[in-house]
Structure 1
Amino acid sequence: MAAHPDGAPCWADAMLNDLEAGKRFYGGLLGWTFGEGEERYGQYTQAYGPDGKNVAALAPKPDGRMPTVWNVYLASSDIRATAGRIRDSGGQLIMEPVAVGDCGTMLMAADPGGAVFGVWQPGTHRGFEVTGVPGSYVWTEVYTRETERTDPFYEEVFGLGSGRIEDDAVDFRIFVPRDAEVGPGNAVFGRFRMGEGFPDELPAHFMVYFAVADADRAAETVARLGGRVTMGPIDSPFGRFLLASDDQGAHFALIDPGTTVGEKPS
């Protein structure tokens, strides 16, 4: 498969209190099957979606004080240079670059608004093997209040282009790979400005979207498996979607990209 361009989301994993419960939840919701967790990597467990291809991973939290959360990893062709730009552009390195065997090299960071993300320079593990189809990753966006600081941060760190989506209702920006034309068709992730209606205590964060074939049925399945639907399902020009949390409190989104209402903004 082609390499992910710098700054494009290339992987996602969830840190959970109960790995086996996570496997039951996401297996029941998204049809995932799972590999055997490796003890040397803290029982990090690959999830497989359509045709047995890599779609994500689940892992038990090494420290119970860590948040229960979905992590997004942005691709880098030179992770040590990326680490330097994170520091220089006002971000914070939470974990310095570390090799994960021959799989690749990772780091964890926070942008100037506090949203935590990972960076992945691939080795033998190239990241998502399939995206955009039911049971796989399809999209991510960073929710932040610090747009004046975070927008230039992602441009400077990953060399991304960006542009605001014209929408009177929300302040939304998309990021595209270096030298790509700015437009929804080239977007690798989005940025949503949190305003009124979002609790002050809600921190900046990335939201991971997984594709489903039927958003309403997926919402019912979330509830049946012990999770919670926090918003939706809602129609949009990009698909019918919902926000949810699993039975351990990790937040994520689901979207049916084939069911759209309205024209896509430019």
Structure 2
Amino acid sequence: MPTSPREGQPTWIDYTCQEFESTTNFYSEIFGWEFTDQGPDFGHYNMITKGGATVGGAMRAVHMDGTPNPLAPAMWTTYLHTDDVSGVYAASLEAGAAPIAEPMAVGPLGQIAVITDPTGAGVGMWQPGEFSGFDTPLTPGTPVWFELMTVNYPVANEFYGHVFSFDIIPMEGFPYATHGAGDDAVAGICDASEWTQVSFWRTYINVEDVDATAAKVTALGGMVLAGPEDSPYGRIATVTDPEGATLQLQQNP
């Protein structure tokens, strides 16, 4: 995966939930993650790290004004790199996206915005300032792949190609495309219309042993939705945490 972010490359993930302490304890047990509160100036947003590598962020579900949002489901959000968050945000709305959070500065760290794409998936954008995004050492407990599961594959390809400058490379024999080819690929778009009624972005977290991790997920109150099963890209399982947010587990081939 390229280390210098290109336009549209996933550069950050974060998590929102209701029961913050118990759910973050779940992730600490599963992946060995550490959560560090950034204090009141950042709304008690937590940075997630693993072995010194920055993995993402986490916080309780709140409204934009900072008040608790008890109706918000637990979920992971993927953020895509951009050098022009205002321009990409405007272009996304013109292309049929719906606004969630308009561009705003996060101190000196960078600028953020969040939309719902035209196929119904929530996705963020990040223009770096002092902070570029997560680390991707591709080691256990860190993110290794990101993909949009969409109910409208043609619209998704057109939207991300136009708005986020995805270099759409179709996969032969399967309705799947990547942003970039081969080792330069940084994200995928999958026609998931046979398996889901809603579009969403999902993240793959590398683990040493998918079967053992999936069993631990169940023991700690999560669920295994699919797998574990072998694939050309390693052994894979789809799981949820105790609040229902989904993640992919990936073990190297």
Give yes or no for TM over 0.5: yes
1:107 aligns with 2:116: no
TM-score, length-normalised on structure 2? 0.92
1:173 aligns with 2:177: yes
Separation (CA, whole Å) in 2 of partners of 1:150 and 1:124: 31
Query: Any conservation in 2 of the 1:55–1:131 contact (CA below 8 Å)?
Result: no
Give the superposition deviation at 1:92. 2.0
Query: Any conservation in 2 of the 1:22–1:58 contact (CA below 8 Å)?
Result: no
Q: How does 1:35-50 map to 2 (within 5 A)?
A: 35-50=36-51
1:250 aligns with 2:248: no
Extract structure 1 runs of 4+ deviating beyond 3 A: none
Query: Any conservation in 1 of the 2:53–2:137 contact (CA below 8 Å)?
Result: no
Give the superposition deviation at 1:2. 5.1
Question: Which one of the candidate residues 91, 115, 119 is aligned to 2:125?
Answer: 119
Distance 1:113 1:10, change over 3 A: same
Question: Which one of the candidate residues 172, 180, 202 is aligned to 1:207?
Answer: 202
Query: Any conservation in 1 of the 2:171–2:178 contact (CA below 8 Å)?
Result: yes
Report the AA paired with residue 34 of structure 1.
Answer: F
Identical residues among aligned pairs (%): 30
Counterpart in the other structure of 1:195: 193
Separation (CA, whole Å) in 2 of partners of 1:159 and 1:105: 19
RMSD of Structure 2 on Structure 1 (CA): 1.5
Report the AA paired with residue 20 of structure 1.
Answer: E
Counterpart in the other structure of 1:11: 12
Separation (CA, whole Å) in 1 of partners of 2:132 and 2:223: 32
Distance 1:88 1:131, change over 3 A: farther
Give the superposition deviation at 1:161. 1.1
Report the AA paired with residue 29 of structure 1.
Answer: I
Give the superposition deviation at 1:125. 2.0
Separation (CA, whole Å) in 2 of partners of 1:66 and 1:195: 24
CA offset digits 1:156-185 (Å, max 9, x no partner): 112221121113xx4111112xxxxxx232
Secondary structure of 1:235's partner? strand
Q: Matched residue pairs, number?
A: 246
CA offset digits 1:197-227 (Å, max 9, x no partner): x25xx31111111111111111111112111
1:218 aligns with 2:213: yes
Counterpart in the other structure of 2:136: 130
In terms of mean alpha carbon deviation, does 68-77 or 130-139 score higher? 130-139
Separation (CA, whole Å) in 2 of partners of 1:23 and 1:3: 30
1:56 aligns with 2:51: no
CA offset digits 1:215-252 (Å, max 9, x no partner): 11111111121111100011001110100000111111
Query: Any conservation in 2 of the 1:12–1:70 contact (CA below 8 Å)?
Result: yes
Give the superposition deviation at 1:38. 1.8
Separation (CA, whole Å) in 2 of partners of 1:36 and 1:3: 28
Report the AA paired with residue 231 of structure 2.
Answer: S
Give the superposition deviation at 1:31. 0.7
1:33 aligns with 2:34: yes
Give the superposition deviation at 1:195. 3.1
TM-score, length-normalised on structure 1? 0.88
Separation (CA, whole Å) in 2 of partners of 1:38 and 1:243: 33
Query: Any conservation in 2 of the 1:32–1:47 contact (CA below 8 Å)?
Result: yes
Query: Any conservation in 2 of the 1:42–1:60 contact (CA below 8 Å)?
Result: no
Question: Which one of the candidate residues 218, 223, 226 is aligned to 1:228?
Answer: 223
In terms of mean alpha carbon deviation, does 223-232 or 86-95 score higher? 86-95
